Amino acid sequence: MFHFDDYNIEDFDDYAIEELTKIVKKLKHIAREYQFGSEEFSFFVDLGDRIEKPIRIRKDNKMIEEMNKEMNFEELKTKVEEWAKDKDLLHEENAEKQFMKFIEEVFEFKSEMDVYFDGAETLKSLNKEYMEDEMGDIFVTLIVLCNQLGIDCVECLEMAYEKISKRKGKTVNGLFIKEEDL
């Protein structure tokens, strides 16, 4: 049971703020509703059949800074690789299985996207978070797969961009068609 009432940020030391920030980031995924105002962060935690308790935390600049601090793609890629290395996944012979894992995540994403497009308007923001969750899984499985095969995924992206940036063509029915295929 949650027993949080209003807290002032002065009540917390640096360590507590850091930990709290992590918790808040996680809770955002299960919170039914949340607001990220300029001075206050509040959210409602879904406790199933138990009471819903609003948690309000007044922020100061340090906390806003913490919450906005995001790792760039390369940093996150390295973190994912470290995690995979720790789990003993980074071997070429695991690539086939990893590929299937990637495909599995692609379809999980598709299921969430279907719900997003079919679902009630009021549930869209929640469904969007489920889509984000699955898209994140796709990236993780891809990063691991690339590493197992000795492929640098950032280089792949650079190469692909280089290719499409020079490509001529046009968009037909919402899809880009290469000039030679028109």
**Residues within the interface to Mg ion (CB under 5 A):** 105, 108, 134, 137
Smallest separation (angstroms) from Mg ion to the CB of 145 = 15
Smallest separation (angstroms) from Mg ion to the CB of 172 = 32
Find all residues with CB under 8 Å of 129, minimum gap 6, and list them: 28, 29
Find all residues with CB under 8 Å of 85, minimum gap 6, and list them: none
- The phi, psi pair for 5, rounded to 5°, reads -115, -165
**Residue from 60, 69, 66 nearest 10 by CA:** 60
Q: Is residue 85 a contact partner of residue 128, using CB atoms and an 8 Å limit?
A: no
CA torsion 108-111-117-123 (nearest 10°) is: -80
Smallest separation (angstroms) from Mg ion to the CB of 21 = 24
Smallest separation (angstroms) from Mg ion to the CB of 157 = 22
Q: Is residue 34 a contact partner of residue 28, using CB atoms and an 8 Å limit?
A: yes
Q: Which long-range contacts (CB under 8 A, 24 or more apart) does 21-29 make?
A: 21/63, 21/66, 21/67, 24/57, 24/67, 25/67, 28/129, 29/129, 29/133
For Mg ion, which is the closer residue by CB, 81 or 137? Answer: 137
**Residue from 157, 148, 155, 140 nearest 102 by CA:** 140
For Mg ion, which is the closer residue by CB, 60 or 104? Answer: 104
For Mg ion, which is the closer residue by CB, 108 or 129? Answer: 108
For Mg ion, which is the closer residue by CB, 110 or 178? Answer: 110
For Mg ion, which is the closer residue by CB, 104 or 152? Answer: 104
| Residue nearest to Mg ion according to CB distances in the complex | 137
For Mg ion, which is the closer residue by CB, 64 or 113? Answer: 113
